[in-house]
């Protein structure tokens, strides 16, 4: 019996993988399946230990260490705590404790802030008005970061309480907020989160009989028995490697670029894409016909600075040929330590050339709001937890300023979560309006908006798209175009119209599988076709003519 836990019943639309994964902004795989109260089992007024807090934070964020054999620079680490210490150490989250972690000691509010900020790779302004916090220290930066996000609150206006021990109720509240389960969310959202948690489930797959038995099972079992009993080079027999390669071969036989078997390290990489940060070049990529292809370089990333563009094919990394490699193996050749260089051999429109990229820690912001006079420009860089839970509140603030128009910039947005796309559309159309048609083997269903709009219907809207706008971006553009609520400006979008679901098995391996196709509310097929703008404006490297056209339409 193999147990598989469904990580995302909220659907993932972005089948691409980031080479420099994202910030801690998206829903962590499995986050809704983990209950804070169950992970951090302490009474409301009970003092929380360092070990309990670190273990709970690492488990809830689903973090795992990439280095499992390297020695740790700490003394007296209990074996049961070692996996959590390793994961936290790799995020530089234990510096507040020194070499002797003393995990049984109580954790202070200041130390908890430092741990959680480091696990999320956050750093705030070092200036502080708190009399008990020294300015421009790691502690000050961490406290500024968690307070700014509403995860913790000062005990008084000019006093944070950094040396006070952390109690159970505050620790649980802090962790909930860091997972996007803030007590101050709009009233409608907790109900939806409860529905998502209720949908998280454990399924059991019986691989020994019935309709789920393996193809050629008798032959596979016989081959393995012969290897076990008669193969000469016994040291080369690796049961895990054999099983993983068999699973990979089965999945590869489906010939779907968005469906893949993930070894434990691969699941960890996917989790960081959904909610994390790694060192790399900063590009969303996917595998097309065995070739690693750029969906979009992330804004401000090393890939963008090096001039990589959507649809660039990455044929080599240094001297390693990537074509034909497993997707995650190819990705790992491009990722690497911060500050190191990788020479990529690129094919673009038939021409081939080399590009050298300096790897860096890439953080992906999610929502940026600026103003061009009376016109609000809302830039979405991906569809994740921030968009899903906080965007509507930001749009209400824009509405209160009575804008002349709104520009929704989805250029180079590779997608994300289906429900986040629904949330975006809900700001501009009436409650119950169609967002997408979802077609699966179970049948067809309509995905519709759940909330009332935040933006008045008489405020004009322009949506900017390009060839790097994929998946959830195309859902939003297609829905708003079908409802004639927005003018779409730019170039034709990427053309990804399928939905993936992720399952994780009991050995921490997993599988990302295409389970549905989506179409626009009027039934337009997007997969392979994309969304064609109402006003086509080609990219200009010297001037942002697409944005200028949007401003012209609204003025």
Which positions are catalytic? 471, 482, 496
Distance CA 296, CA 272 (A): 18
Name the region of 495 (left: φ>0; alpha: ψ -120 to 50; beta: rest).
left
**Would you mind telling me the total number of residues written for the chain in this entry?**
555
Show the beta-strand stretches assigned E in 323-481.
Answer: 341-348, 351-358, 360-361, 367-372, 375-380, 405-409, 434-440, 443-448, 461-465
Three-state DSSP class for residue 203: strand
Distances (CA, A) of 418 to 47, 270, 396: 39, 17, 22
Going by DSSP bridges, is the β-strand pair 360-361/351-358 parallel, antiparallel, or unpaired?
unpaired
The CB density around residue 223, as the number of other CB atoms within 10 Å, is 13
DSSP 497-526: -EEEEEEEETTS-EEEEEEEEEE-TT--B-
CA 488, distance to chain mean position in Å, is 26
Task: Say which residues have a Cβ less than 8 Å from residue 237's Cβ, sequence separation at least 6.
Answer: 227, 228, 231
Distance CA 251, CA 510 (A): 11
């Amino acid at each position: 019996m193999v147990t598989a836990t469904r990580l995302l019943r909220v659907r993932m639309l972005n089948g691409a993988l980031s080479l420099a994964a994202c910030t801690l902004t998206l829903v962590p795989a499995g986050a809704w399946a983990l209950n804070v109260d169950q992970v951090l089992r302490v009474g409301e007024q009970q003092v929380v230990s360092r070990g309990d807090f670190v273990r709970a934070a690492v488990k809830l964020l689903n973090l795992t260490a990439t280095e499992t054999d390297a020695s740790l620079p700490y003394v007296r680490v209990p074996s049961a705590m070692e996996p959590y210490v390793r994961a936290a150490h790799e995020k530089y989250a234990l510096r507040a404790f020194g070499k002797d972690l003393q995990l049984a000691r109580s954790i202070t509010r200041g130390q908890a802030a430092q741990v959680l900020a480091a696990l999320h790779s956050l750093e705030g302004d070092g200036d502080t008005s708190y009399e008990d916090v020294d300015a421009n220290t790691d502690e000050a930066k961490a406290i500024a970061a968690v307070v700014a996000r509403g995860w913790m609150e000062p005990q008084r206006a000019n006093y944070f309480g950094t040396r006070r021990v952390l109690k159970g109720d505050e620790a649980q509240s802090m962790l909930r907020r860091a997972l996007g389960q803030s007590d101050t969310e709009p009233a409608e959202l907790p109900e939806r989160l409860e529905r998502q948690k209720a949908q998280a489930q454990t399924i059991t797959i019986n691989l020994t009989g019935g309709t789920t038995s393996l193809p050629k099972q008798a032959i596979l079992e016989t081959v393995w028995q012969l290897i076990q009993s008669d193969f000469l080079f016994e040291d080369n027999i690796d049961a895990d490697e054999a099983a993983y390669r068999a699973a990979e071969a089965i999945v590869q036989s489906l010939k779907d670029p968005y469906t893949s078997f993930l070894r434990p390290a691969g699941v960890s990489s996917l989790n960081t894409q959904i909610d994390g940060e790694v060192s790399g070049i900063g590009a969303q990529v996917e595998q097309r016909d065995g070739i690693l292809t750029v969906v979009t370089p992330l804004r401000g990333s090393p890939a963008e600075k090096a001039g990589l563009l959507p649809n660039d094919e990455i044929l080599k990394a240094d001297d390693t040929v990537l074509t034909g490699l497993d997707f995650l193996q190819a990705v790992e050749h491009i990722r690497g330590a911060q500050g190191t260089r990788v020479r990529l051999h690129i094919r673009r429109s038939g021409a081939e050339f080399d590009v050298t990229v300096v790897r860096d820690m890439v953080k992906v912001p999610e929502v940026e709001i600026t103003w061009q006079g009376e016109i609000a420009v809302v830039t979405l860089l991906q569809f994740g937890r921030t968009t899903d839970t906080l965007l509507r509140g930001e749009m209400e603030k824009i509405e209160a300023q009575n804008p002349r128009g709104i520009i929704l910039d989805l250029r180079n947005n590779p997608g994300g979560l289906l429900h986040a796309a629904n949330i975006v559309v809900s700001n501009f159309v009436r409650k119950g309006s169609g967002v997408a048609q979802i077609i699966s083997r179970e049948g067809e269903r309509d995905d519709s908006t759940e909330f009332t709009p935040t933006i008045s219907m008489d405020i004009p809207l322009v949506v900017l798209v390009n060839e790097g706008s994929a998946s959830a971006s195309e859902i939003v553009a297609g829905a708003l175009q079908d409802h004639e609520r927005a003018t779409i400006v730019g170039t034709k979008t990427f053309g990804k119209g399928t939905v993936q679901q992720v399952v994780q098995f009991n050995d921490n391996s997993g599988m990302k599988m295409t389970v549905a196709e989506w179409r626009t509310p009027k039934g337009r097929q997007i997969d392979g076709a994309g969304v064609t703008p109402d006003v086509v404006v080609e990219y200009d490297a010297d001037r942002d003519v697409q944005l200028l056209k949007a401003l012209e339409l609204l003025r």
